[in-house]
Amino acid sequence: MLSRYYDLLIDHQLVGQDKLIWLEILKNLEIRQALTSMFRNYQNDVAEIKGHKHLNDRAGKLLVGAISCLQLYAIDNFLFHIDPSQRKSYDDCLEFVKDFFSHADENYDNHCIEYSLDIDGETISPLARNTELLKLSRLIFEFLNRKFNTFFQNHPDEQLYFILWSMRSAIIHQSSLSSSTGTLYDEILEYTKQLESTLTSNDNISVSFKMNLFTEIANIFTFFGDQENSKKYMSLAKNHSDILFDLVGQLGLRTQFQTKPVSQLMVNLKRLSTECNEKLQNNEVEITITMPHNEPSDDNTLLQEVKFINEEKSESKQIVKLKPIEQSLMVAWIKFQQRFGSSTDQLLREELLTYIYFLLQHSDHWIIQFILLEMRSLQERSMRRRVERSLKQLQTLYETIDYPGEKFFAEQVFQRIRYFYSVLSNPYWKIEKQYADLLFALGVYKSALDVYLRLRQWREMIECYKRIGLLHKAEEIIREKLTENDNQPDMHCLLGEITGDLDCFHYSWKISNYKYARAPKMLGLHYFDVKDYDQAIEYFRKSIDVNSMQVDVWYRIGYIGLIQEDWNLSVMAYRKVLQFDTDSFEAWNNLSKAYIKLGDKERAMKTLQEAIKCDYEQWKIWENYIAVCADLGEVWEIIQAWHRLIDIKRTYLDDQIADILVKCLQEHSNDQRLISKSLELFGRITSTSPGTAKTWNLYARLLMLANRDRDDVMKIEQCLQKSQRQILMDGWEKDVFKMIEVLSHFEDLSVDIFEFIKKFPQTLRTTLSSFRLSLNSIVVQVNKTKSNLAITEPTILEKLNTKFDAILQIQNQVMDILNK
């Protein structure tokens, strides 16, 4: 029997051609006996198990029993509402599972009795149907992991399927919770590491199996928002596929009345070989498939799909059919882009819709078309001409699950379950919530409210009542629910959000036995808003200790670290943020700031490079980047960053960084390529702005460093003259600090002028004559106004006199040279 079930496992789906195998398994008397006996007190039974000759069979029965429970739960909550009164087999299985828990006594393992689906303070959705099936499945997988770990390690084939289905049970569990949890994420991460190790080291496993599994894992990490791991497994899946796909432009028509074709996006799909190197496993059963209804667009302007010119030559028409696992791969790619791309990026939306429209033409599996229609609805909801179809489609999808029709049950389920785990669709209540969210976005608050109330989405219910001016109604409903049952941490927390009463959050935290993560989070947010950061960080820490997957909390912890100058805390928090949101330029930028404060400028530079990838147009990142590059003496990076800042801001000046750049070039005076690129930069700086006195001085110094032909002599002389004029702005003599600045600048400028006339003696008289006039003007103005300035600080007066004495010496030196 076990080999028969493993044959089905190889097809990833555990389905037969004409029977509901999962029901058959769970009805089997031997498997039921194995399930009940294996959960009795293990310590008294350990010797018997170690010596049992049929350990393989016993472990196998438990494994397929756990899979059966998982499949039944997934069908009922993700694919198809089952009415037990009309399905005797299903009803019988449910009764067995419920009896298993209701009759638990002292003979059972305590862990079995106390096992809960609530994790890290997150509760299972109250809308989940027949959760006992999921509970028993999870319990069996955990039991097998604890007690049969050695057995599975010695049996690689059985271990592969055990890990695979353990991972699937964990992600179905996570999908049924209100929020992501760190415990399940860590569990799944460990499973994926084991699976990757097995798949990459075992050449006997088919390429199609590997591709399907890597696609499935990529989808899971996309669900969690782990972009790095999602991208990694997406690449592995693509590497094991026989197709390449991207987008190209082709002339086409989009509207009914369009006569002139314009460039439109089109999917360009190519096979790597005319014949697949390996025949992909495809146990398709020849049946008539009832696909989810594809709502047509009722807009009389837009075409149902883009009509391409010379369409018969396009790749999309050459490839008549995509294999299911290839469709799953492309769906996973769309989900990846949808999850990690910008929700306001119109170009990204067009790209995703192009893929979706293409796949809808090729999809021939129920679950693949179902999820494509769901994704299309989410993308079209912001399109004025498509929003009505989006609304209708979401309603149709929910009704497809809620009322599947009169068709033979086994055949319906068979159609829907195939490749379910490869694309990982949402449970039914999340699909209906998306419908309500769209109603809310369209301003149809009362209709949205009806759906939210039915789905028990209390937080969204509160927002609806706010919009229609009846917030007190929301409070009444919450208080009514608490009257029925006061031991509801989430309800007390919601009451606190409505009333602003902090005692509600404290009470919620207490009655949850300090496991409801949202209660301390809300307290932390309150203290964060009033800038009591010590209290805020205390409650934020309590919240993430329960559930570490709260990215928004980590953001705030990182910010508090910056405010309180706790740089190590800030680094830890922003690194956690970036584990799940690698495209957050704010996190990369703030992380680099923390690294700078810790003195780790090389890491700061690398993190800023990542920030730039996330937002290439953000000038603040570029300013931080150029400053770090200047500290590290990275000349090439300084030049490129400065050009980019001018592109964004049209003009950019920073005398300190410019000074560092020129000093670095003086140390690398033999590298004429660097000097040449720097001259191009200074030419652009001075052409896009008037430039500062320091800028023109440094430009002159750089031209002298270039050591090029005599054509630069006049240019150097002009730079020196502009440097003098730029510093002598109106009113400089009326401010003591500005006066000191002018004197200091001319003292520095004199060094470059004397070097210039030494290098080009023919310019001596004209250059020094102009310089003398400027010096004479400065001396006269300082003598005239110095006594009238209100200088109270002796140190400032001393500095002024020192600088002035230096200028008098330079003036005498210039006069001596000119009089010779």
Write the pLDDT tens digit of every residue in 229-271.
Answer: 999 999 999 999 989 998 888 887 777 777 787 778 888 888 8
- The pTM of the full predicted model, rounded to 2 decimals, is 0.79
DSSP letter (8 states) at residue 566: -
Residue that the structure tokens 């994704």 belong to? 375
* Cα–Cα distance measured from residue 192 to residue 88, given in angstroms and rounded to the nearest whole number: 37
Reduced to 3 DSSP states, what percent helix, strand and coil does the chain have, rounded to the nearest 5? 70, 5, 25
Strand partners, 265: 249
Output the CA torsion 451→454→457→462 (10° steps): 70
Q: Position 572: which residue type? A: M
Euclidean distance between CA atoms 235 and 793, whole angstroms: 67
Supply the pLDDT for residue 647.
93
Q: What's the CA gap between 732 and 738, in Å, rounded?
A: 6
* H or E segment and range at residue 250: strand 243-255
Segment 440-448 mean pLDDT: 92
Q: The tokens of 64 are what?
A: 């397929």
- Long-range (24+ apart) CB contacts under 8 A made by 87-92 are 87/409, 89/20, 89/23, 89/24, 89/27, 90/23, 92/27
Say which range, 47-61, 587-601, 654-668, has the weakest mean pLDDT: 47-61
Element (H, E) at 307: strand 302-308
- What domains, with CATH codes, occur in the chain? 2-205 (no CATH), 729-820 (1.20.58)
What lies within 8 Å, CB to CB, of 796 at 6+ separation is 736, 737, 740
Structure tokens at 238: 């693509």
Q: Above pLDDT 90, what percent of the chain?
A: 42
Helices 324-340, 346-362: crossing angle, 10 deg rounding: 160
Average the pLDDT over 531-549 and give the result.
94
Give the other-Cβ count within 10 Å of 431's Cβ.
22
Residue 302: HSE in the Cβ half-sphere, 13 Å Cα cutoff: 13
Residues 770/721, Cβ–Cβ less than 8 Å = yes
Structure tokens at 629: 């590059």
The pLDDT value given to residue 610: 87
Sheet holding 262-271: strands in order across?
262-271, 243-255, 302-308
* Contact between residue 95 and residue 40 where contact means Cβ atoms under 8 Å apart: no
How would residue 534 be classed by pLDDT, with cut points 50, 70 and 90? very high
User: What DSSP element (H or E) covers 477?
Assistant: helix 471-484
Classify residue 354 as exposed, middle or buried by CB count within 10 Å of its CB (0-12, 13-18, 19+).
middle
Of residues 214 and 60, more confidence is placed in 214
Distance CA 222, CA 231 (A): 9
Contact status, residue 668 vs residue 633, Cβ threshold 8 Å: no
| Token pair belonging to 116 | 């809960």
Computed over every residue of the chain, the mean pLDDT equals 83
Q: pLDDT higher for 549 or 255? A: 549
CB 416 within 8 A of CB 79: yes
Nearest in space to 635 (alpha carbons), one of 600, 665, 673, 605: 665
Distance between CA atoms of 759 and 778, rounded to whole angstroms? 26
What letter represents residue 324's amino acid? P
Q: How far apart are CA 782 and CA 807, in angstroms?
A: 11
Confirm if 552 and 543 have CB atoms less than 8 A apart.
no
- pLDDT tens column, 300-327: 676 767 777 775 544 444 445 788 899 9
pLDDT at 278: 45
**Cα of 99 vs its chain's centroid, Å:** 43
Q: Which residues are paired to 177 by β-bridges?
A: 124
Which pLDDT score is estimated for 277? 40
Torsion of CA 39, 40, 41, 45, to 10 degrees: -100
The answer, yes or no, to whether residue 145 has pLDDT greater than 60, is yes
* Average pLDDT rounded to a whole number, residues 281-297: 66
Q: Are the C-beta atoms of 462 and 474 separated by less than 8 Å?
A: yes
What is the amino acid identity at position 582?
Answer: T
The secondary structure of 740-768, three-state, reads: HHHHHHHHHHHHHHHHHHHHCHHHHHHHH
Higher local confidence (pLDDT), 100 or 108? 100
CB half-sphere exposure, 614, CA atoms < 13 A: 20
Q: How would you label 169-187 residue by residue, b for 16+ Cβ within 10 Å and e otherwise?
A: bbbbbbbbbbebbbbbbeb
pLDDT bin (cut points 50, 70, 90) of residue 161 is confident
Question: Quick check: 210 pLDDT over 60?
Answer: yes
270 DSSP β-pair partners: 244
Residue (of 313, 299, 314, 395) closest to 354 by Cα position? 314
Q: What are the φ and ψ backbone dihedral angles of 54, each rounded to 5 degrees?
A: -110, 40
Q: What is the three-state SS of 112-161?
A: HHHCCCCECCECECCCCCCHHHHHHHHHHHHHHHHHCHHHHHCCHHHHHH
Q: How far apart are CA 12 and CA 33, in angstroms?
A: 26
The pLDDT score that the predictor gives to residue 45 is 43
Report the alpha-carbon distance of residue 362 to residue 38 in Å, rounded. 47
Closest CA to 685 of 620, 617, 626: 626
**Comparing C-alpha atoms, which of 297, 455, 293 is closest to residue 390?**
297
789: Cβ contacts below 8 Å, ≥ 6 apart: 734, 736, 739
DSSP annotation string for 156-207:
HHHHHHHHHHHHHHHHHHHHTBSS--HHHHHHHHHHHHHHHHHHHH-TTS-H
Pairing type for strands 262-271 and 243-255 reads antiparallel
pLDDT classification of 59: cutoffs 50, 70, 90 = confident
Environment class of 71 (CB within 10 Å of its CB; exposed 0-12, middle 13-18, buried 19+): buried
Helix (H, G, I), strand (E, B) or coil at 226: coil
